[in-house]
Structure 1
Amino acid sequence: MPLEEVLQSLREYCASMPPVAAMQVDVAGYDGECLSLRAPLAANVNDKGTAFGGSLTSLMTLAGWGLVTLQLQLRGLSAEVYVADSAIRYLAPLRDDLLARAWLGEGGQANEDGWDAFFATLAARGRARVQVEAEVALPDGGVATTLSGRFVAIARK
C-alpha cells in the first residue's frame, strides 16, 4: 500500500475511536523513520493549563502503535498490534500543542535491520515484538515526555 494511503488509513482509524477523536489526534507525517502525531492543547489541557499527562501518554502510545501498524501496512501484511508494556517519563510541563514522534528503538538502531528481524519473526512464528521509543517535544526543541515500549503484532489468519 502506498505511504499516503497508509497515512490516510491511520487518520481514519484514529478518528473512529471515540477517546482518540476527543483528543483531536491527527497524523502529522512520516519521514521514513519517525511517525509523528499531533493534538491541540485545547482538547488535552489539565487544570494547570498544561498538557494532561494521560493525553501525553496516549499520544505517544498511539504513535508507537501507529508506527508498527504503518510498517505492517507498507508491506501488505495484516496483524493486530498491541502495546505489551511501556515506561513513561514526564520531564517538563507542556503549554503548547502536543507533537509526538515514535521510532524503532533499542535493538533496531532506527534502521531497516530491526524491522527485518521483526518481520522475519512474524513470518516464522505468527507473532513478533519490537521496541519503540517515543517522545513529545517542547516548542524550544526540548522534550516534555518520553515513552519506551514493546509492541506486539499477531498475524491475522
Structure 2
Amino acid sequence: MSVDAALQTLRDYCRSMPPVAAMQVDVASYDGERLRLTAPLSVNVNDKGNAFGGSLTSLMTVTGWGLVTLRLQLAGLKAEVYVADSAIRYLAPLHADLEAQAAFAPGESWEMFLQTLKQRGRARIQVEAQVPLPDGGIATTLTGRFVAIVKR
C-alpha cells in the first residue's frame, strides 16, 4: 500500500469514529517517522476559551493509534491496534487549533515489534505524542503503550 493510500485510509477511519469525527480531526502529514493530526479549536474549546483537556488527550491518543495503524498498513499487515495505557501531562493552556504529533519512543524498535507480532500474533510499542504551542512550547504530552493483535 502506498503512503498516500494509507493516509487516506486513516482519514476514513477518523471520519468513521463518531467521537473523532465530532472533533473534526484531520490527517495533516506523515514524514516516515512522525504522524501529525489536527483539529480546530472551535469545536474543542472549554469554558475558559482554550483547548479542552479531553480533546487534547483524545487527539494525542488517536495520533499514536494512527501512527501504529499506518505503519502496519504500510508493512502489509492486518491487525487491530489498541491503547494499553498512557500517561498525560498538561503543561500549558492552548488558545489555538490543536495539532498532535506522534513518534515511536526513543529505544523502540519497529522491526522488533513486527517480528514479535508475526511470531506471537500480538506486540506492543511505546509512542510519545505532544501538542505544541504556537510559540514553540509544549501544551500537553502523552506517553503510551499501543498493542497490535493480528486479525484472524
**TM bucket, shorter chain:** over 0.9
Structure 1 position 125, deviation (Å): 0.3
Once the two structures are superposed, residues 17-76 of structure 1 have per-residue CA deviations (whole angstroms, 9 ceiling, x without a partner) of 111111000000101110000000001000000000000000000000000000100011
Q: What amino acid is the match of 2:144?
A: G
Q: Residue type matched to 1:142 in 2?
A: G
Number of positions where the alignment pairs a residue of Structure 1 with one of Structure 2: 152
User: What is the Cα-based RMSD across aligned positions, in Å?
Assistant: 0.5
CA distance in 1, matches of 2:90, 2:27: 23
Mapped to 2, the partners of 1:106 and 1:153 lie a distance apart of 19
Which AA in structure 2 matches 1:154? Answer: I
Whether 2:139 is the aligned partner of 1:144: answer yes
Confirm whether residue 123 of structure 1 aligns to residue 107 of structure 2: no
In structure 2, runs of 5+ residues without a counterpart are none
Kept in 2, the 8 Å contact 1:39–1:98? The answer is: yes
Comparing 98-107 with 142-151, greater Cα deviation is found at: 98-107
Whole-angstrom distance in 2 between the partners of 1:2 and 1:140: 34
Alpha-carbon distance in 2 for matches of 1:122, 1:43: 37
Give, as a single letter, the amino acid of the residue that structure 2 aligns with 1:32.
Answer: G
In structure 2, distance between residues paired with 1:136 and 1:74: 25
The amino acid that maps onto 1:152 is V
Q: Which residue of 2 aligns with 1:70?
A: 70
1:72-119 alpha-carbon deviations (Å, 9 max, x no partner)? 0001100000000000000000000000000001422xxxxx100000
Q: Is residue 125 of structure 2 the alignment partner of residue 133 of structure 1?
A: no
Measure, in 1, the Cα distance between the counterparts of 2:137 and 2:37: 17
Corresponding residue of 1:59: 59
Percent identity between matched residues is 71
CA distance in 2, matches of 1:31, 1:106: 17
Moved over 3 A (4+): none
Name the residue aligned to 1:111.
none
